[in-house]
Structure 1
Amino acid sequence: MKNRIFMYLFIFALLVVLFQFVNTKNYVKANDQKIESLSIANAKMKDSLALMYNKINDLSMFDFNYNQEAKDYYYDRQIDTDKLIPLIENELYALSDVEGDEHPLIPFAASEGKKMQFNSIKVLNHKWIIADFSDGIFWGELLIKYEISPEKQLTFKVLDYLLYTN
C-alpha cells in the first residue's frame, strides 16, 4: 500500500513538473515574441527620431536663437539678445493695437468688422523677420526687415508680402 501511495505521489509530482515545464516554455516563447516586436518598434522609433533630429537641424538654420553670427552682431553693439526677441515680438504685436482700420505693416484690408493681426512671428537673423497674419478669414505672410538704432529704437520695413486666396 505504501509503495502505491509513493508511486501515485511520484506520478503526480512528475505531472506537475511536466505541466510547469510546458507552461514556462509557452511563457518564455510569448515573452520572446514580445521582446522581438518591441525591438522592431524601437528600431522604427530610432529611425523616426533621427529623421526628426535632422529636420530640426534644418529648421534651426533659420532661427535667430541658433545663429551665432546674428547674435555676435548684437553682442558687438552691446545689445542683450535674450531680451531682443521678446522685445521685437511685443513691438510687432503692439502694432495691432494702433487706432484705425489699417495695420501699419500689413498692406491688406481686413474683413468687415475685423482687424488684421499677427499670429506668429519668427526672427530669422539680425535683419529679417517672417510673420504670418490673419483676420480670421484671410491670411498671409510678411517678410520684414528690422533695424535697431544706436538709441535702441526699432524700425520695421516690409520687404515682401503675400495673401493666400481661398
Structure 2
Amino acid sequence: MKNRLFMYLFLFALLFIIYQYMNEKSIFERQENKIESLRAKLNQEKISVDSLQQELVNLNYFTLQGNDNAMSYFENLGYKAIDIEQMVSDNIYDQNLVKGNNPLVPYEGLNGAMKINKLKFLNHKWIIADYTDGTYWGEMLLEFYIDDNKSLTLSNLGSLLYTTN
C-alpha cells in the first residue's frame, strides 16, 4: 500500500511537473513574441524620429539659428544671434502697440488696424512676416540692419496682400 501511494504521488508529481513545464514554456514564448514585436515597433519609431530630425534640420536651414554663417556674422560683431533675434522681434512687435496700423505694414487695414502676427528670421539680414487686420492678411519681406550703436534699421523689401474670394 505504501509503495502504491508513493507510486501515485510520484506519477502525480511527474504530471504536475510536465504541466508546469508546458505552461511556463508557453508563457515564455508569448513573452518572447511580445518582446520581438516591441523591438520591431521601437525600430520603426527610431526610424520615424530620425526622419523627423532630418526634416527639422531641413526646415531650420533658412533660419537665423540654423544658419552657421548668419550666426557667425553676429558673433564677429560681438552679439549673440538669439539676443539679436529677441531685440528685433521685440522692436517689431512693439510697433503693433502704435495706434492704428503697424508702420512696417504698407497696407491700410479695412476691418481694423494691420498688425504683425508672426516673424521668421531667414538669416542675418531678412525676416518674413505675416500680418492681418482680422479679415485680410498678407506677408512681407523685411530687411534689418544693426549698426555699431545697436541701433536697428528696418525696411520693407516687398509685400503682398491676399485677396478674399
- How far 1:160 moved relative to its partner? 2.2
Q: Distance in 1 between matches of 2:162 and 2:35?
A: 50
Residues 1:103 and 2:102 are matched in the alignment: yes
| TM-score after normalising by structure 1 | 0.87
- How far 1:134 moved relative to its partner? 3.1
Q: Secondary structure of 2:20's match?
A: helix
Q: Distance in 2 between matches of 1:119 and 1:92?
A: 10
**Residue 40 (structure 2) aligns with:** 40
Contact 2:130 2:139 in 1 (8 A): yes
- 1:153 alignment partner, one of 151, 154, 157: 151
| TM-score after normalising by structure 2 | 0.87
Q: Secondary structure of 2:62's match?
A: coil
**Residue 121 (structure 2) aligns with:** 123
Contact 2:63 2:122 in 1 (8 A): yes
- Structure 2 regions of 5+ residues with no counterpart? none
Further displaced range: 19-28 or 152-161: 152-161
**Residue 22 (structure 2) aligns with:** 22
Instruction: Specify whether residues 109 and 8 from structure 1 end up closer, same or farther in structure 2 by C-alpha distance, changes over 3 A only.
Output: farther
- How far 1:145 moved relative to its partner? 0.7
Q: Secondary structure of 1:142's match?
A: strand
Q: Secondary structure of 1:65's match?
A: coil
- How far 1:6 moved relative to its partner? 0.7
Further displaced range: 13-22 or 153-162: 153-162
Q: Secondary structure of 1:70's match?
A: helix
Further displaced range: 90-99 or 79-88: 79-88
Contact 2:64 2:81 in 1 (8 A): no
Contact 2:71 2:80 in 1 (8 A): no
Residues 1:52 and 2:52 are matched in the alignment: yes
- 1:134 alignment partner, one of 132, 135, 138: 132
Instruction: Specify whether residues 19 and 111 from structure 1 end up closer, same or farther in structure 2 by C-alpha distance, changes over 3 A only.
Output: farther
Aligned residue pairs total 164
Q: Secondary structure of 1:93's match?
A: helix
Q: Secondary structure of 1:66's match?
A: coil
Q: For residue 107 of structure 1, what is the amino acid of its counterpart?
A: P
- How far 1:138 moved relative to its partner? 3.3
- How far 1:41 moved relative to its partner? 0.9
Q: Distance in 1 between matches of 2:138 and 2:87?
A: 23
**Residue 62 (structure 2) aligns with:** 62
- Structure 1 regions of 5+ residues with no counterpart? none
Contact 2:102 2:116 in 1 (8 A): no
Residues 1:86 and 2:104 are matched in the alignment: no
Q: Alignment RMSD, CA only?
A: 1.9
